[in-house]
Amino acid sequence: MQAFEYASPSTLKEAIGMLSSKWGEVDVLAGGTDLLSLMKEYTHTPKKVVNIKGIKELGGITKSGAGLKIGATVTLDELVSNATIKSEYPSLLEAAMGVSSPQIRNMGTVGGDLCQRPRCWYFRQGFGILGQDKNGTSLVPKGENRFHALFPQAPAYYVNASSLAPALIALGAKVQVAGPNGNREVAVADLFVIPKSNSGRELSLAANEIVTSITVPSARGVKNATYEVRQKQALDWPITTASVALKMKGSTVSSASIILGHVGPTPVQAKAAESMLNGKSLTPDLAAEVGKAAAQGAQPLNGTAYKAQLVRTAVKRALLEALKQRA
Ligand SMILES: Cc1cc2nc3c(=O)[nH]c(=O)nc-3n(C[C@H](O)[C@H](O)[C@H](O)COP(=O)(O)OP(=O)(O)OC[C@H]3O[C@@H](n4cnc5c(N)ncnc54)[C@H](O)[C@@H]3O)c2cc1C
């Protein structure tokens, strides 16, 4: 690992002042479960890291009538132990519980989960976020790509790694961000962007901004569920995820949100599938039809066509899981 300076400020203002306006010079360090492995592999070689876990205002989960405010440094273990998450947000609970192992959930934070970098093996081996060769041609479409995108957005073929993102987007969550120019709020869906270059970032954050918290609207009256398809239970990311949130009016769906994870460089909103549910009573047959619609528009790479069936199944099963709930 390349030598680096370490700072552990106790206030947000101090921390922001220590960051650089240029990506790659100074990195935010939360639990370190992703950042340190990138540093060990020389994929990230910051001159300095700024530990944000000592900043009190970034911690804690608070409940209000409007919903939940989750501090960016809340660990995944704190998240899954929270009584409101357990009772009101089963989709978020399922997504966070899927992050194996207990050790990762103890160290990994909610902010870090959203900001973690893609698992793309071209990126992790030093070919840049877009996995390009010296001529600027992506190695992904013609290379080994079975864990890459089903819904690519050229030139990005990697998949967003966050399991929490689809659940948070389906629930209408927002992230609060602080930087040298003050505070701002963005929808979780708008946190993820396609990098402008092979050395660019996949987040709509500036290099000197910090995610401070995530607010999730109340899920009372909203049936919500996540279904993940994994290759194995141990120490890995899902291959495909579906998170759903259904606003109910009696037994009919008044509006639906269906977000697919691990199939595109940003989480994918299955709009056509969502609209099939409006004003309908959800039945197993309808759930299967909606699942089929969610996979439409896929543009598989040579190794990712199998993910279309995983999308159909994940969406159907997430909907059926939500159906069982009392909203
Ligand atoms: C074996 C293993 C299995 C895993 N399985 C899953 C899984 O199934 N699903 C899943 O979603 N994740 C999975 N993860 C990833 C894990 O959830 C993340 O590594 C963890 O949540 C990152 O949090 P952290 O606090 O350790 O982040 P760090 O490693 O400290 O940071 C990660 C990145 O985010 C940036 N960052 C962190 N916090 C902030 C902030 N508040 N503001 C701005 N930037 C910030 C850092 O600069 C860095 O670039 C797995 C990890 C491992 C090692």
- The Cα 57–Cα 54 span in angstroms is 9
CA of 124 to the centre of ligand 1 (A): 14
Beta-sheet strands, E only, within the chain? 5-7, 26-29, 48-51, 61-64, 67-71, 174-179, 182-187, 210-217, 222-229, 240-249, 252-261, 268-269
DSSP letter for 287, please: H
CA of 114 to the centre of ligand 1 (A): 7
- The Cα 30–Cα 287 span in angstroms is 39
Radius of gyration of the chain (CA): 19
- The Cα 49–Cα 25 span in angstroms is 9
Question: What residue ranges define each of the domains in the chain, with the CATH number in brackets?
Answer: 56-145+153-217 (3.30.465.10), 222-323 (3.30.390.50)
Contact 153, 194 (CB under 8 A): yes
- Atom 1, ligand 1: which residue's CA is nearest? 235
DSSP letter for 12, please: H
Question: What pLDDT, on a 0 to 100 scale, did the predictor assign at position 234?
Answer: 79
CB atoms within 10 A of CB 97: 15
CA of 251 to the centre of ligand 1 (A): 38
Place of tokens 């709930």: 325
Place of tokens 């399922």: 94
Contact 313, 228 (CB under 8 A): no
Question: What pLDDT, on a 0 to 100 scale, did the predictor assign at position 146?
Answer: 97
CA of 73 to the centre of ligand 1 (A): 11
Question: Best mutation site among 18, 20, 28 for ligand 1, i.e. most ligand atoms within 8 A of its Cβ?
Answer: 28
Q: Coil, helix or strand for 250?
A: coil
Question: Best mutation site among 99, 123, 243 for ligand 1, i.e. most ligand atoms within 8 A of its Cβ?
Answer: 99
Strand partners, 187: 174
Query: Between 307-323 and 90-97, two packed helices, what is the crossing angle to 10 degrees?
Result: 130
In SS3 terms, 173-204 reads as CEEEEEECCEEEEEEHHHHECCCCCCCCCCEC
Q: Coil, helix or strand for 121?
A: helix
- State in Å, rounded, how far the first CA of the chain is from the last one: 50
Contact 116, 124 (CB under 8 A): no
Per-residue pLDDT for the chain (327 aa), expressed as one digit of tens each?
999 999 999 999 999 999 999 999 999 999 999 999 999 999 999 999 999 999 999 999 999 988 999 999 999 999 999 999 999 999 999 999 999 889 999 999 999 999 999 999 999 999 999 999 999 999 999 999 999 999 999 999 999 999 999 999 999 999 999 999 999 999 999 999 999 999 999 999 999 999 999 999 999 999 999 999 998 877 889 999 999 999 999 989 999 999 999 999 999 999 999 999 999 999 999 999 999 999 999 999 999 999 999 999 999 999 999 999 876
Question: What pLDDT, on a 0 to 100 scale, did the predictor assign at position 327?
Answer: 62
Ligand 1 and 210: CB distance under 6 A: yes
